Structure 1
Amino acid sequence: MNRLSLRSRLALLFAACTAVVSLTAGILFNHASATHFVELDQQLLDTRLANLRSTLQGVETLDAFNDRKTHLIADLNHQPDLTLRIDSVEGLTWFDSTPPFSQARPEDTGLHTRHGDQAAYRIFSTTLQPDSAHSPRITLVLDITHHQHFLQRMQHLIWLTVGLSALATALLGAWATRSGLKPLHRMSKVAAGVSASSLTTRLPEEGMPRELAELTRTFNAMLARLDDGFQRLSAFSADIAHELRTPLSNLLTHTQVTLTRPRSLEDYREALAGNLEELQGMAQMVNDMLFLAKAEHGLLIPARERLKLEDEVDAVLEFFAPLAEDNRIELSRQGQATMNGDRTLLRRVLSNLLDNALRFTHPDGYVRIDLQASASGISLSVENKGAGIAPEALPRLFDRFYRADPARQESSEHAGLGLAITRSIIQAHGGSIGCESSEGVTRFRVELPR
């Protein structure tokens, strides 16, 4: 069955269901017909028994029977399908016209059926006079061969009907399923034509059956996600190649210039120190990319310890205080909150947000961190006064290697991965992060569970 097509399976199931229903109906009809014939035969035997009791009324001895025998034979001649046997109370047979095959026995009481190769009989045995202790026993044998022939023909007809119905249903089922599965064939053709260069293909939802409409929408949504993922992967490949090309070019150029002629030991030392700085930047970029890849695959599992966020914020603010003082930027923290989280990762989040805010805050500006705790969770916001962020840049702010202002030349230590790492850490803690900016005030808002 695993190798059969869906169309073949449905056709076979339709045929099997039709065969079962037809066979069940035929068996029930056959049983009902057989029961009906039994009832008719019982009524006929009861009627003829009443006539015989009237003819042989008062007969309890052989002499009395012989006096009525002529009338009995005359009655039997008018009923060729009925034979008779009469036995005395002592077991002597007074009269017997039954066929040998019927095997009528006086001890058999009630209605019985005997079957043979060529004939069948309904046998009914009872006393001739129920109210008399000396009444002889009478056995009526009715030939029902024509009934059995009818039932046999009906059984053959039932089997023929079952076979023809199953065959017709299988053929019609195959045609119906082929017509009904045409939308699936269209989906299969579309799926077969999907490749990295044709992810924009979509299945038409018009004309789809109701059962396949949801599957069509799900399939199109999957293609949209694949297209988005492929575009992001292509952009990421281009971005990382662009980001690595500059330090690699610097390393190559610096090394080639250094090797153009013999130099002093101090010159070589300075060249190696410059190369080391570039290599450290590249190593940091690679480590950040590995961190993001681990987070995206669900492998970033934060530790859970009870933290006072105000203490963690104060520690990070103390670290950045000299830089803020040099730029005449005021740092402040308001509120307090407690949560379960990873101290190292959360400090990295705070450091990334503070570093980002300090770099884009004008001199004599401010950076304010606000903590708020509620029954639903914890809200942390980092606000600074600066140039602001364009509205069209906000949706892509947390993308890897994205810079809100490409014209701003940053040092190699800022590769555009900080906010992407920040979002991955927040999501690993079960939270979310967003950004809003208007009139030069930029605010990053983090929502965390308690």
Structure 2
Amino acid sequence: MRRLSLSGRLALLFAACTAVVSLLAGVLFSRASEAHFIELDQQLLDSKLMTLRSALQGASDIQRFAERKHQLQAELNHQPDLALRVQGPDGQTWFDSAANLSMPAPMDGNLHSLHDADNAYRVYSVALEPDNPHSATLTLMLDITHHQHFLQRMQHLIWLTVGLSALATAVLGAWAARSGLRPLRRMSEVAAGVSASSLTQRLPQDQMPAELANLARTFNDMLGRLDDSFQRLSAFSADIAHELRTPLSNLLTHTQVTLTRPRALEDYREALHSNLEELQWMAQLVNDMLYLAKADHGLLTPRREALELADEADMLLEFYAPLAEDVQVSLTREGTARLNGDRSMLRRALSNLLDNALRFTPAGGRVRVSIEETPGGLRLSIENSGTGIAPELLPRLFDRFYRADPARREGSSEHAGLGLAITQSIIRAHGGQIHCESGSTWTRFVIELPTRG
């Protein structure tokens, strides 16, 4: 069976609520009407009782009652819906205008209801002389059949109203729910229309109800992230083709030229060495791409061991010292901290940052590694002097194949623009963050890592 739609559920819920409220209101009105009729009947019987007591005053025995019977009969003739039964102190019936009613009413001074086949009565039984313990008993019986008919008609009307109200509410509720859920259908249409070529659609948040505005905002944010990820993926694919085109073209051209005519063995050896350099660069590029793919899928799991960051930084600075000496750049390190992390991965990340710093530091500049402990972990920064990076370029520094240097050479066998992306993946795998800060004469990469992983 198909599940009931949300509009149908809301319509049924509205109908059920309306039916319950209408029924409760009808029951309360019916009870209030019945109580009102009882109160009116009590008032009417009390007024008639005063008249009857006045007409029967002094009728303490059956002879005296017989003397006043004609007055009693005349009074009853004016009240066709009122019947009277008079019983003596010994229970003997002196007068009975409702002989067809065989059920006696108790004498407790309260109203009681009495029903026969066709009629309903309100019965009121009291003493003729309240102060006389041997007084006769008056039982007044008021015909309330018309009251009962009214209450029955009202009950039928209540049920009819409940049914019609529920039906009308169901129809109107379905329409209202369908109208109210139109933004959800719009969201469904937008979601159905989302594809690789149409990620620019957005929901109009200002036209959404307050309850759906946050959902629409979240949905639009999701579409924005998908669009950004798809654009990055498209750019990534284009960058891969761009990076591989030049070395492949070089390999093909160089090989074809070499094979155009017979050459000396040394020429073939030189050609193979040249091709080997290009192939090694391509192999490194593929390995870096696989490394980043593992990081994207959460497969980059660092091994944890106790590391002294000062020692690791000193080792890398010693490795880069000859290169720094050649380009007249000073290398320094400040501070120390301990960390549980993967030695080889962190060395690779720091090596990428130091290599970048040396390449973009002018002669006579300096590169400084700073390590300090923070309340939540540690902070490691690598700062170099030189021309700063434009603020609009900072968010893209960690994109794959992105190189801020506009003079970069296509297909460079040294730098493919993956170093910072790999560094960011390594830092994130350790639960940390990396960002870049830059001024007019300096650039600083800041790494923040938790001390416990």
Could you state the TM-score of these two structures normalised by the residue count of structure 1? 0.83
Name the SS for the 2:195 alignment partner: coil
Change (3 A) 1:330 1:89: same
In structure 2, distance between residues paired with 1:265 and 1:153: 118
Structure 2 residue runs of 5 or longer lacking an equivalent are none
In structure 2, the partner of 1:135 is 135
Distance 1:74 1:300, change over 3 A: farther
Distance in 2 (alpha carbons) for counterparts of 1:368 and 1:64: 132
Q: Which residue of 2 aligns with 1:435?
A: 436
Residues 358-392 of structure 1 show CA distances to partners (whole Å, capped at 9, x for unaligned) of 34444554321122334465332212245654555
**Relative to structure 1, is the Cα distance of residues 104 and 235 closer, same or farther in structure 2, using a 3 angstrom cutoff?**
same
Corresponding residue number in structure 2 for 1:237: 237
In the TM superposition, residue 331 of structure 1 has moved relative to its aligned partner by 1.9
Alignment of 1:107-256 (within 5 A): 110-205=110-205, 207-245=207-245
Aligned to 1:412: 413
Q: Give the Cα–Cα distance (whole angstroms) in 2 for the partners of residues 82 and 179 of structure 1.
A: 60
- Measure the CA separation in 2 of the matches of 1:421 and 1:71: 119
Note if contact 1:102-1:141 (Cα within 8 Å) is conserved in structure 2: no
* 8 Å Cα contact 1:102-1:114 kept in structure 2: no
Instruction: Tell me, yes or no, if the aligned pair for 1:106 and 1:137 is still in contact at 8 Å.
Output: no
Q: Look up the equivalent residue of 2:137 and give its one-letter code.
A: R
Show the counterpart of 2:424: 423
Partner residue, 1:12: 12
Return 5+ residue gaps in structure 1 as ranges: none
Letter in 1 for 2:142: L
Q: 2:369, 2:383 within 8 Å by CA — same for their partners in 1?
A: yes
Query: Relative to 1, partners in 2 of residues 1:51 and 1:389: Cα closer, same or farther, differing over 3 Å?
Result: closer
Opposite residue 25 of structure 1, the aligned amino acid is A
Give 2:39's aligned residue: 39
Q: Which moved more, 1:330-339 or 1:74-83?
A: 330-339
- The correspondence of residues 249-288 of structure 1 with structure 2, limited to 5 A, is 281-288=281-288
Q: Normalized against structure 2, the TM-score is what?
A: 0.82
CA spacing shift, 1:86–1:328, aligned 2, 3 Å: same
String of CA shifts for 1:147-182, please: whole Å, max 9, x gaps: 011111222222233333333334444444444444
**Identity across matched positions, percent:** 70
Residue range with higher mean Cα deviation, 58-67 or 30-39:
58-67
The 10-residue stretch of structure 1 (159-168 or 41-50) with the greater mean CA deviation from structure 2: 159-168
Q: Shift in Å at residue 32 of structure 1?
A: 0.7
RMSD: 3.8
Instruction: Count the aligned residue pairs.
Output: 450
Q: Once structures 1 and 2 are overlaid, which stretch shifts more, 398-407 or 50-59?
A: 50-59
* Structure 2 contact 105–123 (Cα < 8 Å) conserved: no
C-alpha contact 1:309 1:336 (8 A) present in aligned 2: yes
